[in-house]
Amino acid sequence: GGASIHKAYEYCKSPSGRILLLRILVTFSLLAAAAICGSVNYILMSRNEKKFAISQYDSISAQALIVMLGSFSRMNDGAATFAKSYGYAFPNETYWPFVNINGFYDTATT
């Protein structure tokens, strides 16, 4: 045990031993720096991707809601136009056989 440690210590005192020790130190330093940079980059990119996904979802869902509300508005306007047209064309429900929707014209046009 002690003799091998003494030999290793003597080897590290020599120029070639110091060069080897510095190479090992530089290698581990570069590996540690790469691991730290990679971890920080991963964390930051994950946060940015999550923020982007939330932003994109909010934008798409808001646009879908606007389109859907516009569709319902157009459908409501169409029903009101339909009621007015039939109200003027057929003022009495006897002109429109088998159909009697009390108050449809009044409700749809208000």
Average pLDDT of every residue of the chain: 83
For residue range 52-72, list pLDDT tens digits in order.
999 999 999 999 999 998 888
Question: At 107, is the secondary structure helix, strand, or coil?
Answer: helix
Q: What is the DSSP string of 15-81?
A: HHHHHHHHHHHHHHHHHHHHHHHHHHHHHHHHHHHHHHHHHHHHHHHHHHHHHHHHHHHHHHHHHHH
Supply 82's token pair. 């339909």
pLDDT tens per residue across span 16-49: 888 888 999 999 999 999 999 999 999 999 999 9
Question: Rounded to an integer, what distance in angstroms lies between the CA atom of residue 107 and that of residue 110?
Answer: 6
One-letter identity of residue 69: L
Evaluate if residue 87 carries a pLDDT over 90.
Answer: no
